Structures are given as C-alpha cells and as structure tokens.
Amino acid sequence: VTAHKSTAVIKSCVGAFTSPLDLNLVVAKSTRIEVHTSTQNGVETVLDVPIYGRISTIELFRPKTLDHDLLFVLLERFKFCILEFNSATRELDTRASGDVRDNVGRQCDNGQLAVID
C-alpha cells in the first residue's frame, strides 16, 4: 500500500463526458480515473475517482439516445463497467457492469484491448 496516487497514465480519451457542451479529457491511471475539462484558463480537474481494480483500458462512446458520452472501463481481472457523469450530484453513476472472462482458451499475449462500435 502506498501513500501516493499513481501518476503513470494507462490510457486517455477526449469527448463530451460531463455535458454535451464540454470538452473533457478522461485519464486512466492504474486504479484512478481523472476527468478534466477545457476552460478559457486551461484544463481544470472535475473529478478524481478511485476504482477497485487495475484499469486495463477505457473508451468513450455515445449511444444514439444520449447527447453526451459514456465511459467504458475494463479492468485487468476482466471486469467491466459503463459509467455516466451525473451533473446534479457531480459524481459517476454505474449504468452497467459485468464480467468478460472466457472460461475456454488462454489469455492473449498482446494484452487486453477494447473496441466499441
């Protein structure tokens, strides 16, 4: 257990996560997700959230029924969740979660990848 927050960036995404009009930078750092927004003064941190598990990859995507993006998070233990920013509480809400583990075969040599279509 360490007292310092992780600083190594696993992956980052850009999109309209906090609102349809905002340009957000979402950064995954080991066991944390940081959400930043672009302002006239530069980049400001909106959210810094711990995640129970080590993040493998993140992706922003937008369903046809929404005007803002959702965040897909895949953990190294093959768990996933889809997160949405709640502007009223300024927190993340879990829209879906589950397990993508395959009982047949072995793990891929290239690591975990995520593609959302």
Residue with structure tokens 């397990």?
99
Tens-digit pLDDT string for the chain (117 aa): 667 888 889 999 999 999 999 999 999 998 999 999 999 999 999 999 999 999 999 999 999 999 999 999 999 888 999 999 999 999 999 999 999 877 766 776 666 777 777
Classify residue 20 as left (phi > 0), alpha (psi -120 to 50) or beta. Answer: alpha
Helix (H) or strand (E) holding 74: strand 70-75
Residue 61 is classified by DSSP as E
Note the pTM of the prediction, 2 decimals. 0.87
Cα 8 to Cα 4, 33, 58, 116, distances in angstroms: 12, 12, 15, 24
